Structure 1
């Protein structure tokens, strides 16, 4: 009886050894970096890193655009207030339909002095900014 138990025990241990050998071969093929899952995991990891960098770059561009837009909005509001003030001051001007009373002609000498006192006025405008950057 002991002999039969020993034979069954040896057969079971050989079967377990064969099964472990097959599993180790499959695991080696599974984890190889060139063709197996290890390669796929390495590729996916590289893609995640690239996407993280692209996302950070896009967030930086969006933050820059948001701050630029906020500054332009504030500037537009200030210009709108000035325009409202100018339109309100137009109500104080006399109507152009009513002709003013005949005024005496100005003296040509005084008129030339008034023209000489006037100075030319130059208006400088900023060019459009080309600082926006597209996300990849």
Structure 2
């Protein structure tokens, strides 16, 4: 499922962003209103896109009430961590890919990674 994120369209990504920012389940109307000002989309376009995201496994649909509510299946951070893991799985040489990634991030991000690795090393037995 996760490699599919790279193939998500611009609108699908915008809708996921909207769901993540909302912090809870949203109706089609709520998502439509959030995107209307910047995109001028039809209600049916948003509804169709949410249903497509549900079929792809990126959102879940709660049909218990008259107005179906949609929510993202994972957090933004969980999704991108899984994407990065999937990318390493197809990279061939994951060590080289990781080093190239680290070369591209900010020094602050590198420090956070180094600190997190050190912390995990202190917590793990052995």
Larger radius of gyration, structure 1 or 2?
Answer: 1
TM-score normalised by structure 1 residue count: 0.17
Larger strand percent: 2
